[in-house]
Chain A
Amino acid sequence: MPRGKEIASEHFRLVTSKSGTIGIQLIGRIDRYCSGSLIRRLKSEIKKLGPRKVMFDLNRITYFDDFGALILFELRSFLTGFKIEFDLVQPPPRVSEILTLTNFESPKLCAPLIKKKQPNLISRLGEGAITTVLNIRYQIAFLGSVILCLLEVMLNPRKLRLDDTVQLMKKTGVDAVPIIAMISFLLGLIMAFVSSLQLKQFGASIYVASLVALSMVSELGPIMTAIVVAGRSGSAFAAEIGAMRISDEIDALFTMGISPTLFLAIPRIVASILVIPLLTLFSDLFAIMGGLTISVWLLDLTISTYIAQTIKSLTLFEFMWGLMKSFVFAALVSWIGCLRGFQVQGGAAGVGNAATSAVVSGIFFIILFDSIFAVIRSYW
């Protein structure tokens, strides 16, 4: 073969001949560190030279793996694209073993890739509708199973897992007291401050006490508490039950003949229903203390007038109304948390989605039911 131009580097030697044939010899360790740059370099050299035929010689290779096979494969499809002939000098046994293992000789390298068919708009719409319907059915079924289990527990209280329930009451309730107290105190502070700016102009500063007490007890107290609990415990319920779901623990319970609802959901729902109204009372109390602080500090009211006005403006009905609401919110938040946990599918990402969804739909349901209560009350 008459020799023309020669290009050499650490990993290859390229020789051109007059007849338009290029000989490329790969040298040394052909591994993952050099494969990317070799492919680019050789492609650009071949493009520049524009040969009729390229011969590859692999006899000076000291190490060869599937990254090397990839180089040959990429260059072969590159050359075929330009209608240039590809030829391989009989490789040493070590290299040909790898080439056989990677199916280098078959033109497609591997079985053709099975592309997942993208369904059309109508079938996707149908699928979406079916999923939604099944979802709603599951939710109704879960609601039913929760109600049945609650009835069962009422008839036979020994079926309630008392230890778990007490533990969950501590987690959901006691551990949430500091954050609830903090938020409510600041909320009372803000409400008193903002309203005082207006009421002071009319000389009606005393009504700050009524405003704080009424709005907290009947509206904001239950809502704030429920939202905080949805964020703290609703998401925790969903993540905990979801993780159990993906590690087959729920299936284990089911096959032992233990109802997963009774075992997992009921203690959480019962604990929430018991502690959230109590947390709401704390929230009301701390907000009133916040209002008191501002009134005494900035509005020159005395502690006793503030408290007297608060007591005067609150009725038992307001209290019961607020507590009833927080009772409903508690059931909703814990129910949604458990539901999202039981609905988890797939892996770790599914658990994350469930926790997010538990908080988002929890808050949505709180606001929705609060609006419903507002409507009911206005037609009372």
Chain B
Amino acid sequence: MLQADTLIDIKNLQARYGDTVVLKDINFEVMHGEILAIIGGSGCGKTTLLRHMVGLVEPSKGSIVIDGDEITSGDEATFQRALQKIGILFQAGALFGSMTLAENVALPILQYTDLSPEAVSTLVRMKLCSVDLEGYEDHLPSEISGGMIKRASLARALALNPQILFLDEPTAGLDPVTSAEIEALILQINHSLRTTLVIITHSLSIIFKVAHRVIMLDKTVKGIIAQGDPKQLKTKSSDPVVRQFFNRQTKASENLPWQR
């Protein structure tokens, strides 16, 4: 199914805030059309890794290449070209509060295409429709619920049909039904447009039902401790930390008296 060629290539990445090294010696690749989940306990640097991958923060060491464009080279034109290929869903949505949903989605389309305003508004309705938000065009982000904000900002991230979509905690804080809808949406995007997805998540449901491959980060190692097929990792990993994560165990593995 998967085409075996590299879309994102990360080599020897080191990330730090001030003197604190958060991540070191990060090496991995993301393939064309793949759904990759980046997982790990809280504070292990998942979001930091994402911020580096989309060029929001410059790494202190190492290189990141997106579809042949090295975003860490410092060349502005290369970086802009790479930005055209990616879409990002931020954890809190990051919709512009002073604009309606339609204006939020239309912003990148108006900026980067030569479509007429009427065509743009039709397209925006198609985009909002595809995330089940038809009829909410004229609402402000403050007037809709959390799940709707996630979906609207997914529609905005998808506005230009980017090759790569980065999702930061797409289902955090949502009810199981809405989460399942978002998972279905992710699979649909991946199938219909062959979009490559990089998902940061804690959700075991995304890890097992959606992701093709996972990369697990760890706070003590400050890097990758496991990668591969989640189902295999769950049963066959030799690392107790990895098994604990997938099997939802606490550190003391025996059941405590008040747990049933």
**A residues near B96, Cβ cutoff 8 Å:** 347
Find A70's partner among B98, B114, B122, B138 (CB 8 Å cutoff): B122
- Chain A interface size, as a band, is 20 to 34
User: Do B161 and A39 touch across chains, with their CB atoms under 8 A apart?
Assistant: no
Q: Closest approach, in angstroms, between the C-beta of A118 and any C-beta of chain B?
A: 12
Find B141's partner among A37, A115, A345, A347 (CB 8 Å cutoff): A347
User: Do B137 and A74 touch across chains, with their CB atoms under 8 A apart?
Assistant: no
**A residues near B112, Cβ cutoff 8 Å:** 32
User: Do B126 and A66 touch across chains, with their CB atoms under 8 A apart?
Assistant: yes
User: Do A36 and B114 touch across chains, with their CB atoms under 8 A apart?
Assistant: yes
Give the complex CA separation of A40 and B193 in angstroms.
25
**A residues near B142, Cβ cutoff 8 Å:** 345-347
- Cβ-based interface call for A372 (8 A): no
**A residues near B135, Cβ cutoff 8 Å:** 111, 113-114
The main secondary structure of chain A at its interface with chain B is: helix
A102-122 vs B, Cβ < 8 Å mask (1 yes, 0 no):
110000011101111000000
The total of chain B residues at the interface (CB under 8 A) is 31
Give the complex CA separation of A32 and B134 in angstroms.
22
Give the complex CA separation of A347 and B130 in angstroms.
26
Q: Closest approach, in angstroms, between the C-beta of B141 and any C-beta of chain A?
A: 7
Interface residues of B in 31-85 (CB under 8 A from A): none
- Cβ-based interface call for B160 (8 A): yes
User: Do B130 and A36 touch across chains, with their CB atoms under 8 A apart?
Assistant: no
Q: Closest approach, in angstroms, between the C-beta of A70 and any C-beta of chain B?
A: 5
- Cβ-based interface call for B177 (8 A): no
Give the complex CA separation of A37 and B116 in angstroms.
10
**A residues near B138, Cβ cutoff 8 Å:** 114-116
- Cβ-based interface call for A204 (8 A): no
Q: Closest approach, in angstroms, between the C-beta of B159 and any C-beta of chain A?
A: 9
* A and B contact pairs by CB, cutoff 8 A, 26 listed: A31-B161, A32-B112, A32-B161, A36-B114, A36-B116, A40-B116, A65-B161, A66-B126, A66-B161, A69-B126, A70-B126, A97-B192, A103-B129, A110-B125, A110-B126, A110-B129, A111-B129, A111-B134, A111-B135, A113-B125, A114-B135, A116-B138, A346-B98, A347-B142, A348-B97, A350-B97
List residues of chain A with CB under 8 Å of any chain B CB.
Answer: 31-33, 35-37, 39-40, 65-67, 69-70, 73-74, 97-98, 101-103, 109-111, 113-116, 345-350
Top 4 A-B pairs, shortest CB-CB distance: A347-B97, A36-B114, A110-B129, A349-B98
Other 14 A-B pairs with CB < 8 A, given A66-B161, A98-B193, A348-B98: A39-B116, A69-B126, A73-B126, A97-B191, A101-B188, A101-B192, A102-B129, A110-B126, A111-B134, A111-B135, A113-B125, A113-B135, A116-B138, A347-B96
